[in-house]
Structure formats: C-alpha cells, structure tokens
Structure 1
Amino acid sequence: MALTPLNPATIAAPFGRYAHGIAVPAGWRIAMTSGQLPLAADGSVPADARAQAALCFENCAAILAEAGMGPDDVIRIAAYVTDRAHMPDYMAARDAWLGPRDVLPASTLLIVTGFTRPEFFVEVEVTAARPDGTGP
C-alpha cells in the first residue's frame, strides 16, 4: 500500500505544488523535525531567503537521514517566512528540494513577524512517513 494524496474535487485545487492532505497507510513509521532555522553547522546564516530556505531543507534532510528517510518520504511541510517577498524564493528552494515526485506533500506556509534573530527569514519543519521495517 502507498501514500494517497487527498485532493477532493469538491474544494478548490491546491494553490501551489502540494496536496490538500495525505493518507498514510497502517504500519508506516513517522518522523518529524522541529522547525529548522537557516543556521549552518559553523554558525553562519545565508544572506538571502532562497539560500536560507535551501539550508533549512538541508537541515531537515539531515534529521530525516537519522531515521533512514529523505525528501521522498516527506508527507507534510510547514514553513514560515518573515515577508511575502520571500515566498517565491522559499517556494523555489522547496520545489528544488522535493524534486519530481508522484505524491506531493501537504503544505502550510505562514507569514510571521520574525524569529529569534533578525537575520532569519525562513523556518521549515517537515513530517515524513515510510513503511515500517525500512530504514533504522
């Protein structure tokens, strides 16, 4: 059994490259990340929103790898940006990270007033699912 996208014909189509919902079959493992800020291991922060979003997704991928999962296993993304002007850069980084796939994740994007440090423009958290018995 596989993941099932939930896009009812009775509501408007998704606004972007995502599914309204995802059904996860019984017996699958779930992994969730905390919100990841655009902070590199050396403490540096990229200057622009696209590079920040890409780093957030790289950090999420590293966490998922600990669970034997990766971007292909993502079923939900929640993202936060500090300005509508950052949305196109965030979406470009998200779409590049997701790559081509048959089932798109559910997704939420919020505009927020800020994060713990003023140089942060983006924060991302993901949820992933994989059949039990695969990965660690």
Structure 2
Amino acid sequence: METISHNPISGIYAATDDYVHAMEVRNPERFLFVSGTMGLDADGAAGRTLEEQLDLIWANIRTILASAAMSVDNIVRVTSYLRDGAFAQANASARVAALGGRVVPTTGIVAETLSPDWFVEIEVIAAG
C-alpha cells in the first residue's frame, strides 16, 4: 500500500501542521472503519478529565486496530466529535502524539455526546 498526501498551496486555505487536506491510498488490500470510540476504561467508566479520556480513546483505538492486525500507522482518516470547542487543541495534540507526528486528513466537530460524561469521541479509517 502507498499513501500520498495532497496539500495544495494555491487556490485554497493552508492546512496547519497537524493535518493534510487529503490522503490518497493506492493499492490497499483492506480497509477498517472504526466506529466512534470513547474514553472509557475496560469497565465502561469514563475518564474523569479530558486528558484521561484522550489517553483512553487512543488506547482503545490501538486495541481495536491490533484486533485487525493493524496499528496507528494504518490510520488514513480521523474524525473527532468534541463536546466543547475548547477541547480542540488538546484533541489535536493527542492525535499528533498518538500518530507519532504523522499527519492525516482530519475533521473536528463540536456536538452533544450521548452522555455528558463523554468529552470526546473519535472514529478512524485505517487501510492496509
């Protein structure tokens, strides 16, 4: 599989350092679509802080990816649902750290989550 970032610099606003406008995926053998994943521990309890939930989310995503013999290196798209727009910077920092600095197309949406205890929900698409 080959991935190619597409980040045009004229005729469109500039992407920031933490994402790219588009990712072309050539010759993937398979895709994995991961549903929205919350910052819940193995017992289903939400982390008490935003940082704790972000840590749990990315640990949960790594577990899901591993069940399909994939890793965060296979992620080609991230969508984040934030309960509050003030969570955007912490979410972006956690994403960049989880992906080891690799940038992918991403969207952040401010939305009401199904439980007031859930601060962020993240879904990913992986390819391999």
RMSD, aligned CA? 1.4
Aligned partner letter, 2:31: I
Q: State how 1:1-136 maps to structure 2 within 5 Å.
A: 2-10=2-10, 11-101=12-102, 104-112=103-111, 114-130=112-128
Cα 1:15/1:43, change in 2 over 3 Å: same
Gaps of at least 5 residues in structure 1 are 131-136
Partner of 1:134: none
Equivalent residues of 1:78, 1:124 under 8 A apart: yes
SS in 2 for 1:35: strand
Between the aligned residues of both structures, percent identity stands at: 34
**TM-score, normalization by structure 2:** 0.91
Q: How many residues align structurally?
A: 127
SS in 2 for 1:31: strand
Q: Which structure has more strand as a fraction of its residues?
A: 2
CA drift at 1:27: 3.9
SS in 2 for 1:56: helix
Equivalent residues of 2:2, 2:28 under 8 A apart: no
Equivalent residues of 1:50, 1:92 under 8 A apart: no
Cα 1:28/1:8, change in 2 over 3 Å: farther
Equivalent residues of 2:47, 2:53 under 8 A apart: yes
SS in 2 for 1:43: coil
Equivalent residues of 1:21, 1:105 under 8 A apart: yes
Equivalent residues of 1:33, 1:125 under 8 A apart: yes
**TM-score, normalization by structure 1:** 0.86
Distance 1:92 1:116 in 2: 24
SS in 1 for 2:38: coil
Equivalent residues of 1:71, 1:98 under 8 A apart: yes
SS in 2 for 1:36: strand
SS in 1 for 2:35: coil
Equivalent residues of 2:33, 2:124 under 8 A apart: yes
SS in 2 for 1:9: coil
Gaps of at least 5 residues in structure 2 are none
Equivalent residues of 2:79, 2:122 under 8 A apart: yes
